[in-house]
Homo-oligomer: A and B are copies of this chain.
């Protein structure tokens, strides 16, 4: 068995935080990993008059997406995707989901046969009555075993070594242990569970719950209501995944960082909660709030709520998930927000 050669595919806020951990850990575990070089694919752009790859490779810092955090020198920014993954046996996918398919078009047939991958991509793919998690998409398209990582992980807090936990849903125990070795530090605890789908779905569905929590904050209903909404949301997440995916484990939702803890983090802070609160207080539609508060980026929670609504309608299961349904109807169909808790 040779050493694993790691490549990071993505270099945003979360990708950079993870690259920082991985760069240090391959050195710490140089028996298991090639510690000389960890390529990080960077979508090339200019920042303050310099190329982003040049900034990263000279200053060892992603000044645009994770300023003031230093990478170890083995993190090498590479603007060409195929060059970045060349020879790599451990591929870390960490990018906005809308870029995934283009990447896979390029990568198909080009990765090492014995490679393994892990998806840190947030979200879920829905097309009509089809639903799929991105770890499965990567695995199917590239023909390599693909795990998933998700948890209560605000990137900036992880990057500065605040105590945090995360969950890896693995394909095989051996792969799980390899990913744990790559990411775990004394301040970033990695739990393992045999549930790729559950771990992946938590990271998408919790955003719907965070929108509901933001509505409660905007309505000023208080902490009893907010806790009730979080509890109900967590159970709807669990039931949804149990209904539509085989073999998900209820521990992923109820006991793991990916489930209960990420719901908590997302309902305490985060953009979904914040924009939903503003929706109630400012009485502006979400497209206006996306422009004002997110520089035109999409608010994940309301779009996931819409995808889930379309999916449930196609499966004739509308009504089985009342909280998801309320978030959809308030966000997209003009239902008064005061109706949120009615009939839950």
Contacts and interface: CB of A to CB of B under 8 A. Distances in A.
A265 interface: yes
Nearest to A186: B342
Contact of A157 (B163, B222, B269): B222
Contacts of A268: 223, 226-227, 268
A344 to B, nearest CB: 8
Interface in A161-180: 162-165
Interface string A240-259: 00000000000000111100
A103 interface: no
B231 A157 contact: no
Each complex incorporates copies of this chain amounting to: 2
A95 interface: no
B162 A227 contact: no
Interface string A264-277: 11001100000000
A255 B163 CA distance: 25
Given A231-B257, A235-B255, A254-B254, A265 B164 contact: no
A297 interface: no
Nearest to A224: B164
A152 B224 contact: yes
A267 to B, nearest CB: 8
Contacts of A154: 222-224
A261 interface: yes
Given A231-B165, A255-B235, A341-B163, A224 B158 contact: yes
A262 B227 contact: yes
A163 B261 contact: no
A165 B229 CA distance: 9
A227 B152 contact: yes
Given A163-B341, A231-B260, 18 more contacts: A152-B224, A153-B224, A157-B222, A163-B224, A164-B224, A187-B341, A189-B228, A223-B265, A227-B257, A227-B262, A227-B265, A230-B260, A230-B261, A231-B256, A235-B255, A254-B255, A254-B260, A268-B268
24 contacts: A152-B227, A152-B228, A154-B223, A157-B222, A157-B225, A162-B221, A162-B222, A162-B225, A163-B221, A163-B224, A163-B344, A165-B231, A223-B269, A224-B265, A227-B257, A227-B262, A227-B264, A228-B261, A230-B261, A230-B264, A234-B260, A254-B255, A260-B260, A264-B264
Interface of A: 152-154, 157-158, 162-165, 187, 189, 221-228, 230-231, 234-235, 254-257, 260-262, 264-265, 268-269, 341, 344
